A and B are shown apart, each in its own frame.
Chain A
Amino acid sequence: MNEIEDATKAFIQQYDDKKFLWEERLEVSFQAFLDSGPSFEELYQKKVDATRTGADDEDQKIEEDMDAFRWMGKKIHGDVVTRYPSLEVFDEKIAHLTVVKKQIGEMKQSVDIGWLRVNSLPLIKELEKTIDDWIQAHTSFLLNNTTN
């Protein structure tokens, strides 16, 4: 019995790279993904920094510019800081989830571990449903928040 217990533990480990699908909550993980992106202020700062010419009074002008941006941002958003990852980061994440979905679809539904037949179909169906929800969350966010 110890032999089969070890073998089944090893069998379960094949799903380890997909365990985020059952260990993490979609809403929490998706929010963490959004929060990993830069804020509007950080994006604006980057844009302003890119226009630096090296003039003597540049630092002061940029600081005034940023103060104006902060003031405007506070008027519009209040204390809410909005962060979105770039489209490239979204694209990378969706591509990764699509690869995981493909891997789940290719999983064997039935595996014999010696004298024990393991039917993985219930797990595979559950994972397929979960990965679809994850992909949907990312793509629908882009659809609802992207303008031409």
Chain B
Amino acid sequence: MLIEGITNGINGSMLFLKDQLSIQYNRANQLQPIFDIKVNLQERKVTFDPTIGSNDRENGIRDIINKIVADFISLAIMMPGRIDTNQNPAATSNNGDYLVEIKDQFLLFSSINQIT
């Protein structure tokens, strides 16, 4: 039940982010842009600053979105300790959180795929 609740919490955030990152949704709801980037001329190429994709400095738009998604998932380690450690000694290897179980949730796989 706990895992289901955490999964639903994370998935709610993911679905909200998915809507915010939809061009159609943004236009239909007349929302303001979330990011502001520049177009530059560098080394005889037109480039975006920061880049749209990931880059070495990890400040690309995709990097930022990935960090936000990772922050959503980190909700699984916010719980102050597993409640099943006494019955399930193997769970102690998970550092007392639900991260492993949460990362295995198919519901979240689907939402992450839709965002990234």
Task: Provide the B15-48 mask, 1 if CB < 8 A to any CB of A, else 0.
Answer: 0000011111011000101111111110011101
B77: CB under 8 A from chain A?
Answer: no
A118: CB under 8 A from chain B?
Answer: yes
Please report which residues of chain B, range 62-104, place their CB below 8 angstroms from some CB of chain A when the two chains form the complex: 62, 65
Which residues on A sit within 8 Å (CB–CB) of B21?
1, 3-4, 115
Given contacts A119-B36, A120-B39, contact A114 B27 (CB under 8 A): yes
Please report which residues of chain A, range 111-127, place their CB below 8 angstroms from some CB of chain B when the two chains form the complex: 112-123, 126-127
**A22 to B39 alpha-carbon distance, docked (Å):** 14
- Give which listed residue, B38, B41, B46, B52, contacts A4 with CB less than 8 A: B52
Of the listed stretches A7-15, A33-41, A63-71, A81-89, chain B binds A7-15
Given contacts A4-B23, A7-B23, A8-B48, contact A116 B41 (CB under 8 A): no
A23: CB under 8 A from chain B?
Answer: yes
Task: Provide the A1-31 mask, 1 if CB < 8 A to any CB of B, else 0.
Answer: 1011101100010010001001100000000
Given contacts A1-B115, A116-B34, contact A22 B44 (CB under 8 A): yes
Count of chain B residues near A, Cβ 8 A:
29
B9: CB under 8 A from chain A?
Answer: no
Given contacts A8-B52, A15-B46, A115-B26, contact A122 B33 (CB under 8 A): no
Cβ distance A6 to chain B, nearest Cβ, rounded Å: 10
**A3 to B52 alpha-carbon distance, docked (Å):** 11
Q: Is the CB of A122 within 8 A of B115?
A: no
Of A5, A8, A115, A126, the most chain B CB neighbours within 10 A belong to A115
**A122 to B49 alpha-carbon distance, docked (Å):** 10
Given contacts A4-B61, A118-B39, contact A123 B46 (CB under 8 A): yes
**A127 to B39 alpha-carbon distance, docked (Å):** 12
**A1 to B18 alpha-carbon distance, docked (Å):** 9
23 A–B contact pairs at CB < 8 A? A1-B21, A1-B62, A1-B115, A3-B22, A4-B61, A5-B53, A7-B23, A12-B39, A15-B46, A22-B46, A114-B26, A114-B33, A115-B35, A116-B33, A116-B61, A117-B33, A117-B35, A118-B48, A119-B39, A120-B38, A121-B38, A122-B49, A123-B41
